[in-house]
Amino acid sequence: MANNKKTTIHDIAQKLNVTASTVSRALNENPRISENTRKAVLKAAKELNYEPNQIASALRSGRTQLIGMLVPNINRAFFSSIIRGVEEVANSLDYRVIVSQSSEIFENEESAVKAFLNVRVDGIIASIGKNTENFDHYKQVLDRGLPLVLFDRTTADLQTSQVVIDDYQGGYLATSHLIAQGCTRIAHFTMERKIDIYKERYRGYTNALLDHNIKPDENLLFSGNLQLEDGREHTLALLQKNQEFDAIFSASDYAAMGAMQVLKEKGLKIPDDVALVGFLNEPFTSFTDPPLTSVNQFPIEMGHTAANLFFDALHAGKKKVVPKKTVLQPELIVRASSLKEKH
């Protein structure tokens, strides 16, 4: 069946007694072509089962229709959903997405960007690694005039478009909700990093307290890696220090999960004794017992936005547009872990 030799525009040209350039024009919606030859070319192309060679096209035109996408971890629901969002937009415009993951390792991040540049991607969409403090590899991308869009984990050191969610608002929403449920002694689990997102969530938490005339208490603040184990430790510490508390707002669902485990082990009722709110809206949050209230970051929409910003920059081309920063509003998904009976 399948021809061993792939047909090229020359084959089509030969068949129609025209030149390859005419065929190329016909295939690329070039206006400098008559409607008749255009139709003839399209017909012949179909007959000969022509498939364009994008590599040759890329070499000549300098455009590969490839987007390099860099994420810390592909098998985290948040990131894979963002990839999905980017893909949806990209594929609809006939672009392909190349994915690499840094695994939060700086060297991987550097080499992935370099690899992207070597395959001559048309641009890069990336989320910065936790421990990255040097951005030269990203600057190289910008120096080459390629679009670079950052999402979620961004930095002010790079003058480029970015999309984040309003982490402050997320922290504020979560905390206000707990206060509305009657909680006044609200602990917070956070992480100390250069990354802004945790600071913002913490700021939202603090301001929500202040706005409701509750004085933030340092004894209720815990910093760690926000993994399940950290949540367990923080909660045990809370209990051991005999701190009075009636709620926990964790900047990550995993640490919230650790808290839930410990609270249940100690016989405390959720949410009546301690109300619980996480952050990320990981898939598992609806499967815990009780289901965990959390902050949804709309990852698919974030992917859509990142892709749109990318194509904006791409189409702007040389004439450097002002980088745009899009801030998405998060949503508090209220579940049983924080919803007290009407009081």
Task: Report the interface residues with a second copy, using CB under 8 A.
Answer: 1-2, 51-56, 58-59, 64-66, 73-75, 77, 80-81, 83-84, 87, 91, 94, 96-101, 112, 114-115, 117-120, 140, 143-144, 257, 264, 283-284, 287-289
Query: In the bound complex, what is the minimum distance in angstroms from residue 39's beta carbon to a second copy?
Result: 22
d(CA 204, CA 176): 9
Closer by beta carbon to a second copy, 57 or else 223:
57
DSSP 245-286: -SEEEESSHHHHHHHHHHHHHTT--TTTTSEEE-SB--GGGG
For DNA, the closer of residues 58 and 214 by Cβ is: 58
Closest approach, Cβ 56 to a second copy, in A, equals 5
Q: How far is the CB of 43 from DNA (least distance, A)?
A: 14
Residue 55 or 322: the one with the smaller Cβ distance to DNA is: 55
Q: Give the footprint of DNA on this chain (CB under 7 A).
A: 6, 8-10, 17-22, 24-25, 27-28, 30-34, 36-37, 52-53, 56-57, 59-61
Beta strands in 86-220 (DSSP E): 96-101, 123-126, 148-151, 161-165, 186-190
* Paired tokens of 323: 């980088």
96 binds, among DNA, a second copy, none (CB under 5 to 8 A by kind): a second copy
Selection from 83, 87, 119 nearest residue 101 by Cα = 83
Question: Can you tell me the distance from the alpha carbon of 263 to that of 277, in angstroms, rounded to the nearest whole number?
Answer: 13
Tokens representing residue 81 in the block: 């959903």
Largest CA distance in the chain: 89
Cβ at position 184, least distance to a second copy in Å: 28
Residue 33: name its binding partner from a second copy, DNA, none (Cβ under 5 to 8 Å by kind). Answer: DNA
Torsion angle of the four alpha carbons 219, 223, 224, 225, in this order, in degrees rounded to the nearest 10: 140
**What is the nearest approach in angstroms of DNA to the Cβ of residue 53?**
3
Q: Rounded to the nearest 10 degrees, what angle do helices 136-143 and 106-118 cross at?
A: 20
- Half-sphere exposure for 148 (CA within 13 Å, toward CB): 23
Structure tokens at 118: 């070597």
8 binds, among DNA, a second copy, none (CB under 5 to 8 A by kind): DNA
Task: Using the minimum distance from each CB to a second copy, give the nearer residue, 37 or 54.
Answer: 54
Nearer to DNA among residue 22 and residue 293 (C-beta): 22
CB 42, min distance to DNA, A: 12
Q: 79 or 202, CB closer to a second copy?
A: 79
